[in-house]
Structure 1
Amino acid sequence: MSTYLVPVDFSKTADHAAKYAARLSFAMTNAKIILLNAYYVSEYESILPTPDMLITTDDRIADEISNRLAALEKLKTKLLEINPQAEVEVYLTRDTILRSVIDRVNREEIELIIIGSNGKKAKDESDIGSNAIKISKSSPVPVLVVPPKADYQSIRKAVLACDFKKVKEVIPIRALKNILSKHALELLVLNIHSGDNIDQNEEHFLHDMLKDFSPAYHYSDHPDTIKGIVTFAKNEGAQLIIALPKKYSFFESLLHESVSQKLTIKSHVPVLLLKD
């Protein structure tokens, strides 16, 4: 079974990601989507009034839980209209979003976490969108970040962006092969630092590592790394960008919110953050 975990907070951003997950699940004969909502009330919130001078009483908490469960069921219905064959589970937790996601991943075999990314005009719309990078940093499974303008397309071509440096340490080959073996993808490997001297040993190692997938190799010397990747993906008609947020990788900078936000905002396709 292919299981997708989709954190939602009932924003347009999160709903868009959930619907993307439902369309993505069509490609799988046995798919499960978990809609996770985290309702965390801190100790301070339970004793201090809100800005509206309301106290978070047990009755208010119970009402909020009831409303959230109803909203989850409503979203579940929408997803089943998109893919009636999928299994959709609603899951409400009383912990923080980060802890809730990691706890669920540790208790069940999750193939992919799918998160909506906030756009330029909605930076504060979704708490989950603003926490996408924190979740990506902590998640032991791949995270797919869906930009607000990324409409679902059958994934036929993917761009793997790397810098041909410290390939053995940087490329999460097990996770990469797991993704590529499940999807018939045309893989385009983009060296985004082609102006630098390329270590021939590293290049040969990468070619050998990916030989089973027959990728095409491309080179870019665009002065703006993010723009170079996005432009290349668009020109090539790719439906996915694969990023490697790991030590030594140039994509390590993606773990800093400002850079990652640029990529997910500028990208017209989802960005897969892949780690071993």
Structure 2
Amino acid sequence: MRRLLVATDFSPAARTAFEYTLQLAAHLQAEVHLLFINKVVSAETSLPEQHRRALIERDNREYGKKLQRWARHYPDQPREYVAAPNLHFHVRPGKAASGIIQAASELQVEAIVLGGREKHNIREHLFGSVTTQLIGRSPCPMLIIPEKARYQKLQSIALAVDITLSEERVFQQLKEVAKPLEASVQPFFVNMLPGEQDKIKLEQLDANGQRIDMVRDREITSGITYYLEQNQVQMLAMYIPRRAFHEHLLHGHLLRYMAWHTPLPLLLMRE
């Protein structure tokens, strides 16, 4: 990943994601594009077009200055990483999710980084947050950073797999991401079969010479959490095919749950 897009709303969660990305980019020698979507101007449709454009330009200039001030102030950041990445600033008008998607496509970034807040309001529970709106629509992988996360050098990435699907391609893609970080990729899956639950909780299997770990649990979310607690990993990766995304959207909201509750940075690989 040589070009990363960080979307910010100036919140503490966005601050955490930005700080994490700066340090990740320093190890990857990657560009960082910091993006703010000016959502207010989208509501000013009653103004004459000329005045509306002038308002957008004025607001974008002010937000651009605020964005640069905000980027220079990151107290939790170790000094050696401050000047490492090639940092670019972008302010665009429009709706948050669609604006992020458009910017990601135009800038040809290789990942979108978002901060995951600890608490969510009732509107987000009903209609979804910007993060959940992007899942399934993002043109590239998404990296979601929990609000309390702090950067740790990546040594191992846990890949949650569905053994009923062919995921060799995404496994190889993730290995390419991990290679410049000198990190390993460890696949695992959650076995929810009722007849298996009285056996060993965590077991190592061999699949054509590749180690794959199995967790026995009655729920996939608690099985994933258990695996992360039992292993020294610094990132969780998941691959959700489009058809599975719609299934989970209707049955349990797996992706939204993981995006909101993941204890580790979560990398969502797209189909």
Name the TM-score, length of structure 2 as normaliser: 0.78
Deviations 1:212-257 (Å, cap 9, x if unpaired)? xx5x321112122112102211220211111112145589627989
Q: Give the direction of change, closer, same or farther, for the CA distance of 1:98–1:248 in structure 2 (3 Å limit).
A: closer
Give yes or no for contact 1:162–1:250 (8 Å, CA) kept in 2: no
Deviations 1:135-177 (Å, cap 9, x if unpaired)? 2311121100111122111111111112310225x85345334
1:203 aligns with none
Distance 2:249 2:170 in 1: 16
1:51 aligns with none
Give yes or no for contact 1:22–1:33 (8 Å, CA) kept in 2: yes
2:15 aligns with 15
Distance 1:186 1:58 in 2: 49
2:159 aligns with 160
Q: Give the direction of change, closer, same or farther, for the CA distance of 1:107–1:155 in structure 2 (3 Å limit).
A: same
What pairs with 1:190-209 in structure 2 (closer than 5 Å)? Answer: 190-193=188-191, 195=193, 207=207
Stretches of structure 2 that go unaligned for 5 or more consecutive residues are: 197-205
Q: Give the direction of change, closer, same or farther, for the CA distance of 1:190–1:252 in structure 2 (3 Å limit).
A: farther
**The residue matched to 1:139 in structure 2 has which SS?**
coil
**The residue matched to 1:238 in structure 2 has which SS?**
coil
Task: Compare 223-232 and 261-270 and name the one that shifted more.
Answer: 261-270
Residue 18 of structure 1: how far off its partner (Å): 0.8
Deviations 1:63-119 (Å, cap 9, x if unpaired)? 532331121111332369643121110001123222322222322331211111121
**The residue matched to 2:64 in structure 1 has which SS?**
helix
Distance 1:6 1:43 in 2: 21
Distance 1:251 1:135 in 2: 13
Aligned residues between the structures: 252
Q: Give the direction of change, closer, same or farther, for the CA distance of 1:120–1:161 in structure 2 (3 Å limit).
A: same
The alignment-based identity, stated in percent, is 20
Distance 1:137 1:78 in 2: 33
Alignment pair present for 1:187 and 2:185: yes
**The residue matched to 1:133 in structure 2 has which SS?**
helix
What pairs with 1:102-121 in structure 2 (closer than 5 Å)? Answer: 102-120=101-119
Identify the structure with the greater strand proportion. 2
**The residue matched to 2:97 in structure 1 has which SS?**
helix
